[in-house]
Amino acid sequence: MFTHRPAAAVLFDRDDTLIKDVPYNNDPSLVEPMPGALEALTALRAAGIPVAVVTNQSGVASGLITPDELHQVNERVEELLGPFDAWAICVHGEDDGCACRKPNPGLVLKAAGALGVDPADCVVIGDIGKDMQAARAAGARAILVPTPKTRPSEIVAAPEVAHDLREAVGWVRA
């Protein structure tokens, strides 16, 4: 286990970290929290630690989901998991060359800026290597919570790997 100072904020990937991934979800009724997500967020909020979402949503760029549908899905996420202090969303496609799309640091930097904290004082929790790369590129701490979709190479490369969200948040609050 790593020793770190307390986090100023925790930034979560959305799909397969906070909610079960439904590719290009445009239906709020399909939003289903990941196991332990509500408890993890509740613990952070009770400790006074701001929480934010950093998420790639390329379905908007490709026309598979409208901005309004994305907004409705994100509203449902908040209905089920409580309010987030910030949302940083990249709606660009992989070939758009933007600075915000993970693994680039833009979303982490944007969320940290919105929260008024230094990215170096943030923890990013996600389920794939791109989440970890974005955190490191921004100077933030990164914790991987693998799912069956996480590649073995991403697990090996991750600086910290937690079994679930509760464990990851326990490390943040320790």
Give CA–CA dist 81/37, Å, rounded: 7
How do residues 27-56 score in pLDDT, each as one tens digit?
Answer: 999 999 999 999 999 999 999 999 999 999
pLDDT band of 5, cuts 50, 70, 90: low
pTM of the model: 0.95
What's residue 94's pLDDT? 86
Alpha-carbon Rg of the chain, whole angstroms?
15
Residue 80 has pLDDT above 60, yes or no: yes
DSSP secondary structure of 40-87: HHHHHHHTT--EEEEEE-TTTTTTSS-HHHHHHHHHHHHHHH---SEE
What's residue 2's pLDDT? 47
- As annotated, the active-site residues are 13, 15
β strands within the chain, DSSP E: 9-12, 51-56, 86-90, 122-126, 141-144
In our burial notation (b when 16+ CB lie closer than 10 A, e otherwise), range 68-93 reads ebbebbbebbeeebeebbbbbbbbbe
CB 144 within 8 A of CB 155: yes
| Location of structure tokens 């929480």 | 51
The two three-digit tokens of residue 60, written as one number: 């908007």
| 3-class secondary-structure state, position 172 | helix
How do residues 92-132 score in pLDDT, each as one tens digit?
Answer: 988 898 999 999 999 999 999 999 999 999 999 999 999 99
What's residue 4's pLDDT? 57
